Amino acid sequence: MTTQHVRLTVNGEAREADVEPRLLLVHLLRDVFGLTGTHIGCDTSNCGACTVHVNGRSAKACTMLAIQADGTQVTTIEGMADGATLHPLQQAFWDQHGLQCGFCTPGMIMQAAWLLGQNPRPTEAQIREGISGNLCRCTGYVNIVKAIQQASGQLAVDVSAPGKAAETIEATPAS
Amino acid sequence: MIPAQFDYVRPANLDETLGILKKRQGEAKLLSGGYSLLPLLKLRLAQPGLLVDLRDVSGLDGIVETDDDLRIGSRATHRQIHEDPTIVRRYPMFHEASGGIGDPQVRNWGTIGGSCAHADPSSDWPAVLIAANASLVCRSAAGERVIAAREFFLDTFTTAIEPTEVLTEIRVPRRPKDGGGAYTKLERRVGDFATVGVAAVVVLAKDGTIARAGIGVTAVAETPFAATDAEAALVGQKPSEEAFRRAGQAAAAMSRPVDDSHGPADYKRAMVAEMTLRSLRSAVQRAMA
């Protein structure tokens, strides 16, 4: 078994590894670098749970070899928050209850981030088209779309939304 | 799903690539965007000994219109084609087709050359290139071959590319003043392969009759094909619903669909007629605009 050396930047940090050419990018991220926020859903290029950015372009990390990402800049869900401050999309998914089981969420957020980079104020139709390569088995698309609308400044944060309520409950010490 | 083992090289330019293909003839496979090949590798339907990644080979992704033709580099992504200003303005059929391939991530990375070389029997580009009478340019160490799209797609996953060749460019005849094209794809849901896809190109004569017609059909035979009977039925006719319907019937009669999860064969045949009709309406409208 021959390995080849890859160097890439993941979430701003220089990383390297010896990999078999057949190793998939998603396995490099999860199993070698321990970045398990990138999920493997279908493993057949359909569901988009493994969506990351490679040189700023959204990609399905199950459909790219680790070695193809040699020399690139990769961003995963772990690279979105700024310390304890959630990325606006993460905050919006919270506020709008844009997740149920949460499995598709990292991929949804990464694809939404790419979409908003291309088109900062997409229409609802453009949002739906933009996330058409990401599947939510809970079918929670309505709130996912709302979250993306909020993150793009097109929908006010509803303080009575479930996310806000949860935040309040969490912040209250148990009596 | 883990691919079988293979060696991997990333040549810096086309000459180096051609040298590798010659030396490792028969065991080397070219990797472009990866969105067709990687799934095959993961299913182990393809087990090449050597993967030759074209990532660092520059000069293969340009889109330019010359006096004679529209030239699309084989490594142009579907997205690049979809958003190219010349394509948006002058080649709506290419704009339509590129916007409906897979999903946004697929279009970010998948390339027109990769898709054509892969030659999935339900893929979109072959129908479009056949209708447009485009050519595919293949380079080897021995030189360049220009192959008509109509002679390029031979069978399921089988093309006229030789193992020592790289598909470098797609050449589409420049759109004439009275020409127009359209691609209509029926899909069960967004991002799916076509249940039926029909591309139509028409060029109108001065008297308003159809001087030339190209009809490319996908997903209803072993490989996308030219519906030559439909083309023949259109030439010399005044554009009309009746003429379009006759062409649709002719295209349907030439298709050889099979029953599968996309639908029964009879349904698909009916849809070939319908998609042909819709593409022709749109193509003629664009030719007259």
For the record, the structure tokens of B210 come out as 């159809």
- List the 80-109 stretch of A: residues with Cβ below 8 A of B: none
Q: Are A132 and B31 an interchain contact pair (Cβ–Cβ within 8 Å)?
A: no
Please report residues of A whose CB lies closer than 8 A to that of B102: 133
Across the interface, which of B6, B35, B105 has its CB nearest the CB of A21?
B6
Task: State the smallest CA–CA distance between residue A114 and chain B in angstroms.
Answer: 10
Interface size A-B, in CB pairs within 8 Å, comes to 81
In angstroms, the CA B127 to CA B109 distance is: 21
Q: Are B106 and A45 an interchain contact pair (Cβ–Cβ within 8 Å)?
A: yes
In angstroms, the CA B96 to CA B282 distance is: 12
Please report residues of A whose CB lies closer than 8 A to that of B105: 48, 51, 58-60, 63, 111, 133
Strand partners, A74: A10, A54
**Cα distances (Å, whole numbers) of residue A83 to A33, A78, A86, B50, B217:** 19, 10, 8, 43, 53
Distance of alpha carbon A112 from the chain centroid: 8
The residue type found at B272 is V
Q: H or E stretch including B220? A: none
Q: Are B106 and A133 an interchain contact pair (Cβ–Cβ within 8 Å)?
A: yes
> Any CB–CB contact under 8 A between A126 and chain B?
no
Please report residues of A whose CB lies closer than 8 A to that of B55: 68
The ipTM of this complex is: 0.95
> Any CB–CB contact under 8 A between A63 and chain B?
yes
Number of Cβ within a 10 Å radius of residue B237 = 15
Task: State the smallest CA–CA distance between residue A116 and chain B in angstroms.
Answer: 13
Per the CB < 8 A criterion, the answer to whether A96 and A147 are in contact is: yes
Global pTM reads 0.94
**Cα distances (Å, whole numbers) of residue B169 to B74, B108, B139:** 5, 19, 9
* HSE value, Cβ hemisphere, 13 Å, CA-based, for A126: 12
Tens of pLDDT along chain B (289 residues) come to 899 999 999 999 999 999 999 999 989 999 999 999 999 999 999 999 999 999 999 999 999 999 999 999 999 999 999 999 999 999 999 999 999 999 999 999 999 999 999 999 999 999 999 999 999 999 999 999 999 999 999 999 999 999 999 999 999 999 999 999 999 999 998 889 999 999 999 999 999 999 999 999 999 999 999 999 999 999 999 999 999 999 999 999 999 999 999 999 999 999 999 999 999 999 999 999 9
Q: Are B104 and A22 an interchain contact pair (Cβ–Cβ within 8 Å)?
A: no
